[in-house]
Structures are given as C-alpha cells and as structure tokens.
Structure 1
Amino acid sequence: METLSLSALVVFLAEIGDKTQLLALMLTLRFRVPWLISIAILIATLLNHAAAAWFGSWVVGFISPNFLEYLIAGSFFAVALWTLLPDKLDEEEALISGSGVFFTTLVLFFVAEIGDKTQVATVLLAAEYDSMILVIVGTTLGMLLANIPVVFFGEKLAKRLPLQWIHRGAALLFVVLGIVSLT
C-alpha cells in the first residue's frame, strides 16, 4: 500500500502546474467534453506510465545495487530541482488538426508525458519498489487526481491554486525521497 500511495502522491504533486495539466485545461476550454477528455487522459497515462515502469524495473537488472541507490537518489534530487521550474505549453504541442477530441487528447497526453518529470518519477519509483503494477496504478491515480479536476473545473481552479507553494512542496517531497533512497 505504501508503494501505491507514495506513487500517487509523488505524481500528483509533480503534476500541479505541469505542461500536461496546462494541456488538460486547454483541451477542456477548446472542446468542452470533459468525460471524453478524462477517458483519453486515463488511457494515455496508463500506456505511458506502464512503459516507464517497465523500463524502471528492467534497468534495475543491469546496474549494481550500490550504484543504483546513488543514481536513484541523484535522480530524485534532479527532479526536485526540475519541479521548481514552471512548465509552459508550446502552441505547436497544443493542437493536432483534423483529429477527434478523444484521439487528439490521447496522442497529446501520451507525447507530452515522454521525458516529463512525472514519467521520470514513474521510472524511478519502479526502479525503487518491487511492485510495478502498484507503481503504475499509483502514478496513474496521481495523474488523474491532478488533471481530472482541471478538466471539470478548469478556469476556476487555475485562478485559485498557489502554484509556487505547490511546486516547492513537490520539490521537497522529491528531496525527501532522494534522502530516503540513500538509507
């Protein structure tokens, strides 16, 4: 249960103010079909985080445990710093012309997550914990907890969230995870 809840919390905090959250807001304001957008976000996240967790679990077999411990800790520290940098949604990433709402959301979310801090966090969590399934479920849950309210309440939430403090809290959590992975 620790793996599931920690994975959800890490991704939830890292996702606040992230470009995929901005993407969720943009898609919602443009298409105004929250259920369809939400289902596409779920599927894109499951696919992306399953690949990331598989990679994290796979790479563990090729790296010595001592080096892996330092690599994971260093990566958590790097993600902590990265979390402090606010994301911006590029206009080029924002639209795929001629596609339906579901397909557009699915493709954009999957692509936007490639190399994103939440995907990196998923790789690290899968490398750190034995249960790849719990990591995938937890990180997907964290992504949904951060994005689905944006899909349904977008504009109102964007005006009320103190993003700077949320980013600091997420960065602190990644630092703590880095320290814990060294012990």
Structure 2
Amino acid sequence: MVLSVVLAAFVLILPVELPDKTLFATLVLATRFPPLPVFVGVGAAFGLQTAIAVTAGSLLSLLPEALVSGVVAVLFLIGAVLLWRESRSGEEKEAEADQARERTSFVRAAAISFGVLFAAEWGDLSQLATAGLAARYAEPVSVFVGAWAALLVISGLAAFLGRKLADRLPLALLHRVAAGLFVVFAAIAVVETVRALVG
C-alpha cells in the first residue's frame, strides 16, 4: 500500500462527496432509522461501490456520459417526488416514523440504507473519480483505502448528524429540503445530459 496514493484518493474524494446527493440521502435515512445501522449499511454500500470502481478502473469512464447522467436525472426526479409526497403527510407521519424507527431491526435498517445508497451511487462523481485514480496510479488497494475512508467520514457525519437534526427539526421540513436538493441534482444531471448529447 502506498500512503501517498491513499492520501491523494482521500483528499480528492472527501470534498467531492461533501455537497453531494449521498450526504443528503444519508441524512434522510438517519431521520428514519437509528444512526448505527444507517452508517453500517451506507458504509457497506460505499465499500462495494468503491471496490467496483477500483476493479473496473477506467472502464466505467467509457460509459456514455449522456446515458449515465440521464438515468441519474430521472432517479433524482423520482426521489424528489417521493420525498415531497412524504413531507405532505403531516404530523401523524412523524409519530409513525418514530414508531417505525423503534420497530425496525438493525439488519433491516442497515439493508435499506445499503440498497438506497448502492443504487444512488451509480455514476456518481466520486465513483468515476475513484475509477480514474485506480487507472492512473495502478495501486488499486491504496485507491480503495483512501476513497472508502473519505466516504466513511462523510457517511458517519451524515448518519449521526441526521439523527440530531431529526430531533430538532420537523421531519416534513427535512423531507422538503431534501426534495428540493434532489430537484437541483436532477437539473444538474439534465444539463450534463444535454451537454454530453450536444458535445
């Protein structure tokens, strides 16, 4: 393992993920489930995604950009609609969410968190950056360790901060904010799709 490559991957991936959809998706998951299973599920999804990106290397970057960004735009729009609809359910949903949080097993919460993040991370900038780093440095283990460490830092902050936010802010408000962010990310993906098709 090459420490400079680990550090390079960590330093590149950390700021890419900070304002990313993954952070907000993890925050929303943490409002529905306890933070530890969310962190475990999200961390496992990130680990698998990072391993796939490193293994595939430069092959992922060969996918048509327009196709990837178009699918991402549709997924974000669907996510925004679902979040908005959920936010309109009102106060009774918050009570139900608290009860569901208490009834949901660790394994189920972790599995849901894994599934959501695993699906959301496809075509993500950090995944493509990880693939590019793996192709550039030819040090797959070092790239994996650095990239996964950065993603774990972000998911840990989001999972544990998300629970604190849920205790202080109405769940409906968090869902509306997340829905708005998903719309923004969908718009960005549409712009990227158009650029890829025109360019």
Q: CA RMSD in A?
A: 3.0
Contact residue 93 and residue 108 of structure 1 kept, 8 A: no
Query: 1:65-105: CA deviations, max 9, x gaps?
Result: xxxxxx9xxx9xxxxxxxxxxxx78236879xx99211110
Provide the C-alpha distance between the structure 1 equivalents of 2:5 and 2:39, rounded to a whole number of angstroms: 24
Confirm or deny that 1:119 pairs with 2:120: no
Provide the C-alpha distance between the structure 2 equivalents of 1:101 and 1:122, rounded to a whole number of angstroms: 27
Structure 2 partner of 1:91: 80
Provide the C-alpha distance between the structure 2 equivalents of 1:43 and 1:23, rounded to a whole number of angstroms: 15
Gaps of 5+ in 2: 66-75, 87-103, 169-173, 175-199
Structure 1 partner of 2:39: 38
Query: 1:9-47: CA deviations, max 9, x gaps?
Result: 11110001111100110000111x111111111111111
Structure 1 partner of 2:5: 3
* Counterpart selection for 2:118 from 107, 110, 115: 110
Structure 2 partner of 1:101: 109
Structure 2 partner of 1:24: 26
Structure 1 partner of 2:178: none
> Which structure carries more helix by proportion?
2
Provide the C-alpha distance between the structure 1 equivalents of 2:82 and 2:114, rounded to a whole number of angstroms: 13
Provide the C-alpha distance between the structure 2 equivalents of 1:127 and 1:93, rounded to a whole number of angstroms: 37
Provide the C-alpha distance between the structure 2 equivalents of 1:23 and 1:42, rounded to a whole number of angstroms: 13
Count how many residue pairs are aligned between Structure 1 and Structure 2. Answer: 128
Amino acid at match of 1:27: L
Amino acid at match of 1:49: T
Confirm or deny that 1:131 pairs with 2:155: no
* Counterpart selection for 2:14 from 12, 15, 18: 12
Provide the C-alpha distance between the structure 2 equivalents of 1:127 and 1:23, rounded to a whole number of angstroms: 28
TM-score, length-scaled by structure 1: 0.62
Q: Summarize the alignment of residues 130-169 of structure 1 with structure 2, pairs less than 5 Å apart.
A: 130-154=138-162, 155=165
Runs of 4+ in 1 over 4 A off after TM superposition: 92-95
Measured at CA, do residues 47 and 17 of structure 1 come closer, stay the same or move farther in structure 2, by a change above 3 Å? same
Provide the C-alpha distance between the structure 2 equivalents of 1:53 and 1:16, rounded to a whole number of angstroms: 21
Contact residue 3 and residue 135 of structure 1 kept, 8 A: yes
Provide the C-alpha distance between the structure 2 equivalents of 1:5 and 1:130, rounded to a whole number of angstroms: 15
Amino acid at match of 2:151: M
Provide the C-alpha distance between the structure 2 equivalents of 1:56 and 1:49, rounded to a whole number of angstroms: 10
Provide the C-alpha distance between the structure 2 equivalents of 1:143 and 1:50, rounded to a whole number of angstroms: 12
Contact residue 3 and residue 134 of structure 1 kept, 8 A: yes
Contact residue 37 and residue 101 of structure 1 kept, 8 A: yes
